[in-house]
Amino acid sequence: MQLTVKQIAEMIQGTIIGDEAVVIRGISGIKEAKEGDLTFIANRKYLSLLKNTKASAIIVSRDIKNTSNSPLIQVDNPSLAFGRVMSYVGPEEIRFTPGIHPTAIIGENVALGKDVSVQPYAVIEDYAAIGDRCIIGTGVYIGHYTTIESDCLIYPHVIIRERIRIGNHVIIHPCTVIGGDGFGFATVKGVHHKIPQIGTVEIGNDVEIGSSVTIDRARFGRTLIGNGVKIDNLVQIAHNVSIGDNTIVVAQVGISGSTTIGQNVVIAGQAGIIGHVAVGDNVIIGGKAGVTKDIPDNTHVTGFPAREKWEDMRFQAYLRKQPEMIERIKNLEERIEELEEMLREMNGNAENH
Amino acid sequence: MQLTVKQIAEMIQGTIIGDEAVVIRGISGIKEAKEGDLTFIANRKYLSLLKNTKASAIIVSRDIKNTSNSPLIQVDNPSLAFGRVMSYVGPEEIRFTPGIHPTAIIGENVALGKDVSVQPYAVIEDYAAIGDRCIIGTGVYIGHYTTIESDCLIYPHVIIRERIRIGNHVIIHPCTVIGGDGFGFATVKGVHHKIPQIGTVEIGNDVEIGSSVTIDRARFGRTLIGNGVKIDNLVQIAHNVSIGDNTIVVAQVGISGSTTIGQNVVIAGQAGIIGHVAVGDNVIIGGKAGVTKDIPDNTHVTGFPAREKWEDMRFQAYLRKQPEMIERIKNLEERIEELEEMLREMNGNAENH
Amino acid sequence: MQLTVKQIAEMIQGTIIGDEAVVIRGISGIKEAKEGDLTFIANRKYLSLLKNTKASAIIVSRDIKNTSNSPLIQVDNPSLAFGRVMSYVGPEEIRFTPGIHPTAIIGENVALGKDVSVQPYAVIEDYAAIGDRCIIGTGVYIGHYTTIESDCLIYPHVIIRERIRIGNHVIIHPCTVIGGDGFGFATVKGVHHKIPQIGTVEIGNDVEIGSSVTIDRARFGRTLIGNGVKIDNLVQIAHNVSIGDNTIVVAQVGISGSTTIGQNVVIAGQAGIIGHVAVGDNVIIGGKAGVTKDIPDNTHVTGFPAREKWEDMRFQAYLRKQPEMIERIKNLEERIEELEEMLREMNGNAENH
C-alpha cells in the first residue's frame, strides 16, 4: 500500500486539513498507529489521543479541529470512510472455488441459481432453492424446501432446517442454527408433551447473523427477521418472535417466544426479553437489561426490571443515598431523645413549680 | 385441510359450544386468525381477544364461556389439543432416507439397531452402539463406546463424545456438544494445569435438548440428565451437574459444576446457578436469577442473589419507597429544627423569667 | 485398578497419615465414595464429610488433620495430585487414527508437520500450516493462510477462519468458531453498512477453549488470547479484545470490542464487560457482574454496575436495612408529633399563664 493523503481523501470525499502530499503505507487503530499509518476517530472518547498519535493521517468527522501534527481528513462518517479505505488496502479477499464441489450432496429437485458455489461436504436437501451467486460453505446443511435468494454468504457448518425462507444479500456466520424447533411443551401431570412446531423462519434482505446464533422456527406461522437486521454471536431468538427492519441485536441477547421487536431498535449485550411483549420502534435496551413488559416507541430502558434510563439512574442515585439517610436518621433519633429529655425536665419543673 | 368443528372436536375429545357444522380450512395464532381458521387460547392473557377474533373456531379450556361469535371447543389442555390438530393438518413431515448413507463412516465393532438411518458425512467411532429406529443426522459425530438407545433423533452436526450414554426417545438439536471436558484446572504458581475429566454424561429417556447446548462430561462419575428433562438452546451444563426428572431449563441458563437440581424444576432464561449447591424439587427459578446457595423444595426464587419471590418483591417494594423516605427524613429534620428553636426560646424565656 | 495407599502416595509425593497397606480399587467423589475408593478434598467446604466418608483413602492438603477412619495422603495440591492418579487409573485414552484420512480435503500449498492426524471430512484450505503432532478432528474447517503450531488438539467441527495464528499445545473443543467477522457497522440514515473486519486472531501457547465459544477477528490488527488462558463454554469474545496470560474466563461470559483484560484475571460465569475498557492484572470479576469502566490491578469486583466487592457488599447490607429504616422513621414521626403536641399545650398554658 502506498497512497497520498490526497488520493485517500478523494476516495472518501474528504476535506484535508494539513499536508495533502503525506504518504500513507499502512492502517491501524489510533493507539497502535506508527509513522506512515492512516488511522481514524469515530468514538469521541478517543479525541484526546489526537494530539500525540504517531499516525501520519487521521480520518475524523467534519466538526473536528486539528490538535495533531499530522493532516486530518474530515468526512461525514469516519467509520464508514475508514471501512472503504480498508476494503481497498486490506488483505486480498478469500475466493471460494466456484461451482459445486464433487463431495457436496445435492438432493432431488433442488434449484441452483447462476454462479452458485457449494463447498465440500455441504448437503442440500430435496426441493431447496439457492439463488444466484450464493456461496454455501463447507459442511453447511440446508433442509428440504428451504429457499435462499441471491448473493448470500453462508459460512461453514451453518444449519438451516426445512421450509425456511432467506432473502438477498444475507450473511450467516459459522455454526448458526436456523429453524430448530421452538421450545414448547404441554404439561399434563408433570410430564411435558412436545407441541409440534410446524411454522417457519423468514429472514429478510441484507441481514447479517453471527456465529452460534439460534433462531427457532414458529409453532405455526413464522419467526420473522426484518430487512437490514444485524445479529451478533450467541443470540437466542425463540419461536414466533418478530424483529423489525434495521434492528441491532448484540451478543448473548435472548428474546423469548412471541415477542415483537420494532424497527431500528438496539438491544445491547446479554439483555433478555420475556415472551409475549411488544418493544416499540427506535427503542434502546441497555446491556444486561431484563425487559418484563411492553416498551413504547423511542424509549431508552436499562436495568432489571427494565425501566426508562433516567428513571433507573434516579432510582440508583436514591439508593446510593442510603448510608447518608441512615446517618441522618441516627442524628434525628439523638436530637429527639434530647428534646424528649428536656421536655420531661421542663414538665418536672413545671409540676414542681 | 377441510374439517368441520365436529370432526375436530372428536379428534381432541372436546365439547362444542356453538355451531358444529362450521368448516375449518387452516390454523393460526389468535391475533393473525382469519375466517376459516382454527385457533386456541392457552394463556389467559389473551382471553380478551376472544370477542373480536376472526377465527372460525377457538379451542379453549373447559371453564371458558363464549364471548366470541364463533364456536368454541372446550378441552382439558388447549395447548396439547391444538398440538394434536397441528400434527394432523400441518405440513407433511420430513422423512430422512432410511439406511446408512454411503458417505457415513462407521467404525469397527459398532452395533447398529434395526431401521437406523445414518445421514451423509456422519461419523460413528469404534464400539459405539445405536438403538433401533434412531436417526443420526448429517455430519453428526458419535465418539468411541457411546451408546444411544432406540428411537432417538439426533439433528445435523451434533457432537457426542466418547463413553456417553443416551436413553430412548431423545431429541438433540443441531450443534449441541455432549461430553466436552469439564472446566477444571489446578493452579500452581499462576499456571493452570488441566485436571483430567475421565467421567461421562448420562442422559435419560424422553429428553429434548436444544441447539448449541453444551453439557460437559464429569471429572469422574457422571453428569446426569434425568428422564423427561427439556433443555432449550444455548444452555451450559458443567461437569458433575445432576438434573432430576422432568425439569425444564430455558435458553441461556448456566449451571456450574457439581450442582444438583431436583425434579420438576423450572429454570427460566438466563438464570445462573453457582457450583456445589442443591436445588430442591418443584423449585421455580426466575429469569436472570443468580442462585448462590441451596434452595429448598417447592420454593419460587427470583433476583440476584436469588431469594424467595415474595421476599424479593417485598424487598424491591421497600427500595422503591426510598424517594418517599428521603422526603420524610427532610420533613422530620425541619420539624425538629423548629422544635429545638422553640425550646431554646422557651428556655431563654424561662431563664429571663 | 489395584494399588496400595503407599504406591499412590509415592506417585504424588504424599505423606501418609494412617495405614499405608490399604488397597485402593477405584476412585470417586467424596460423597459417592464406597469402600475401596480413593477420593480427595480440594474445597474446604467438604472437610466435614471427612469423618463419615466410606472412602478407603483421602487425598488432602498438608494442613489437614485426620478426622476419618481411613488413611489420609497429604499433598501440596489435592486437585492436581488426584488428577495425576486419575490419568494413571482412568479409562484408556481415545487414540485417533494417525495420518490423513482419505476423505480429508487438504488444499494447495498446505504445510503439514510430522505425525499430524487429520480426521474424516476435515477441510484445510490453501496455504494453511499445521504443526507436528496436531490432531485435526472430524469435520474441522481451517481457513486459508491459518497457522497452527505443534501438539494442538482441535476437536470435531471447530471452525477456524482464514489468517488466524494459533500457538503450541492448544486445545479447542467442538463447535467453537475462531475468526468470525467482528460486529461492526456504520449507520447512515438508519441503514447499517458493514465495516470490513480485516484483522486476525492470535492465540498463544497452552490455551484451552471450550465448546461453542465465539472469538471474533479484529477490525484491523488482532484479537489476542495470551499464553495459558483457559476459556469455558459459550463465551463471546468480540473484535480487538486482548486477554493477558493465564487468565480464566468462565462459561457464558461476554467481552465487548476493544476491551483489554490483564494477566491472571478470573472472570466468573455470565459476567459481561463493555467495550473499550481496561481490566488490570489479578482482577477477579464476580459471576453475573457487569463491568462498565476500567478496573485497576488486584481488585475484586461484583455486581452491576461492578464495584469493589467490599463496597458492593456494604452497599447491599445498607439496602437490606431499608425495612428497619422505615420503621425508625415512622417511630420518629410519632415521637415528634407527640413533642409538637406537648409544646403546643405548654405554649397554650404559657399564654394562659
A2-28 pLDDT tens trace:
899 999 999 999 999 999 999 998 888
Q: Which residue type occupies A179?
A: G
Task: Please give the backbone phi and psi of residue A326, each rounded to the nearest 5 degrees, phi first.
Answer: -65, -40
Chain A contact partners (≥3 CB pairs within 8 A): B, C
Locus of grid cell 459476567? C271
Quick one: cell of A73?
Answer: 481528513
Distance (Å, whole) CA A236 – CA A216: 8
Assembly ipTM: 0.91
- Write down the pLDDT at residue C301: 98
Question: In the Cβ-directed half-sphere of A97, how many Cα atoms lie within 13 Å?
Answer: 14
Nearest chain A Cα distance for residue B80, angstroms: 5
Q: CA B244 to CA C98: how far, in whole Å?
A: 41
Helices C322-352, B322-352: crossing angle, 10 deg rounding: 30
Q: Mean pLDDT over residues C246-271, rounded?
A: 98
A299 in reach of chain C (CB within 8 A):
no
Inter-chain Cβ pairs, chain B and chain C, closer than 8 A = 182
Nearest CA in chain B to C347: B346
- Tell me the pLDDT tens digit for each residue of C148-194: 999 999 999 999 999 999 999 999 999 999 999 999 999 988 999 99
Interchain pair C80, B234: CB under 8 A: no
Chain B touched by C155 (CB under 8 Å)? yes
Active site residues of C: 239
Q: Is C276 left (phi over 0), alpha (psi -120 to 50) or beta?
A: left
Give the closest-approach CA distance of C229 to chain B in angstroms.
Answer: 8
What is the bridge-based pairing of β-strands C72-75 and C15-17? antiparallel
Instruction: Report the mean per-residue pLDDT for chain A.
Output: 93
Residue tagged 464406597 (cell numbers): C34
Q: Give the per-residue pLDDT at C57.
A: 93
C317/A contact by beta carbon, under 8 A: no
Residue spans of beta strands (DSSP E) within B12-167: 15-17, 23-24, 26-27, 37-40, 57-61, 72-75, 99-100, 105-106, 111-112, 117-118, 123-124, 129-130, 135-136, 141-142, 147-148, 153-154, 159-160, 165-166
Which long-range contacts link A56-60 to residues 24+ away (Cβ below 8 Å)? Answer: A56/A5, A56/A22, A56/A23, A56/A24, A57/A5, A57/A8, A57/A18, A57/A22, A57/A24, A58/A30, A59/A12, A59/A14, A59/A85
- Answer with the residue of higher pLDDT: A96 or C139: C139
* Chain B 48-67, residues with CB within 8 Å of chain A CB atoms: none
Between CA C231 and CA C225 the distance in angstroms is 10
In chain A, what residues touch C212 (CB-CB under 8 Å)? 175, 212, 234
pLDDT in tens, C309-341: 999 999 888 888 888 888 989 999 999 888 888
**CATH fit for domain B3-89, picks 3.30.70.1400, 3.40.1390.10, 1.10.287.980, 3.40.50.1000:** 3.40.1390.10
> Does residue C349 register a pLDDT over 80?
no
Residue C132 and residue C126: Cα distance in Å, rounded? 18
Top pLDDT among A266 and A95 is at: A266
Rounded average pLDDT over A309-313: 93
- Work out the pLDDT band at C351, boundaries 50, 70, 90: low
Question: Over the Cα atoms of chain C, what is R_g?
Answer: 29
| CB atoms near residue A54 (< 10 Å) | 17
Smallest Cα distance from A263 to chain C, Å: 10
Q: What type of residue sits at position A109?
A: N
Task: Say if residues B239 and B199 touch (Cβ distance below 8 Å).
Answer: yes
What gap in Å lies between CA B127 and CA B162, rounded to an integer? 10
pLDDT at B352: 64
Architecture of domain B99-310: 3 Solenoid (2.160)
Find the CB nearest B91 among A192, A193, A198: A198
The pLDDT confidence band at residue A353, using thresholds 50, 70 and 90, is low
Euclidean distance between CA atoms B158 and C139, whole angstroms = 11
The reported pLDDT for the residue numbered A348 is: 76
Provide the residue-wise pLDDT of chain B in tens; the chain has 353 residues.
789 999 999 999 999 999 999 999 888 888 888 899 999 998 887 888 888 889 999 999 998 877 778 899 999 999 889 888 887 877 888 888 889 999 999 999 999 999 999 999 999 999 999 999 999 999 999 999 999 999 999 999 999 999 999 999 999 999 999 999 999 999 988 999 999 899 999 999 999 999 999 999 999 889 999 999 999 999 999 999 999 999 999 999 999 999 999 999 999 999 999 999 999 999 999 999 999 999 999 999 999 999 999 999 998 888 888 888 888 899 999 998 888 888 888 777 766 65
Taking the Cβ of residue C238 and every Cβ of chain A, the question of whether any pair is shorter than 8 Å is answered with: yes
- Going by C-alpha positions, the residue among B252, B292, B287, B265 that lies closest to residue B276 is B292
pLDDT of residue A75: 95
- Average pLDDT of span A24-51: 86
Confidence of residue A350 (pLDDT cuts 50, 70, 90): low
The whole-number pLDDT of residue A98 equals 84
**Is A239 labeled as catalytic in the residue annotation?**
yes
Chain B neighbors (3+ CB pairs < 8 Å): A, C
The answer to whether A97 and C123 have CB atoms below 8 angstroms apart is no
Q: What is the mean predicted confidence (pLDDT) over C43-69?
A: 86
Of A106, A213, A220, which to mutate for an interface test with B (greatest number of B Cβ within 10 Å)? A220
Q: Nearest CA of chain C to the CA of A189: how many Å?
A: 32
